[in-house]
Amino acid sequence: DAKTTQPPSMDCAEGRAANLPCNHSTISGNEYVYWYRQIHSQGPQYIIHGLKNNETNEMASLIITEDRKSSTLILPHATLRDTAVYYCIVRFSTGGGNKLTFGTGTQLKVEL
Amino acid sequence: DAGITQSPRHKVTETGTPVTLRCHQTENHRYMYWYRQDPGHGLRLIHYSYGVKDTDKGEVSDGYSVSRSKTEDFLLTLESATSSQTSVYFCAISDSIVGNEQFFGPGTRLTVL
Nearest to A99 among B48, B105, B106 (CB): B48
CA distance A85 to chain B (A): 10
**Cβ distance of A93 and B48 shorter than 8 Å:** no
Using CA atoms, how far apart are residues B108 and B90, in angstroms rounded to an integer?
7
Q: What is the pLDDT of residue B41?
A: 79
C-alpha triplet A70, A73, A79: angle, nearest 5°: 155
Residues of A in contact with B106 (CB under 8 A): 42-43
Q: Per residue in A23-68, pLDDT tens?
A: 999 888 888 899 999 998 899 999 999 998 899 999 999 999 999 9
Residue A98 has pLDDT above 80, yes or no: no
Q: What is the pLDDT of residue A86?
A: 97
Cβ partners under 8 Å of residue B2, min gap 6: B25, B27, B29, B93, B103
pLDDT string in tens for chain B (113-residue length)? 569 999 999 999 999 999 999 999 999 998 999 999 998 778 899 999 989 999 999 889 999 999 999 999 999 999 999 999 999 999 999 886 545 688 999 999 999 99
Determine the residue of chain A that is closest to B4 in CA distance.
A43
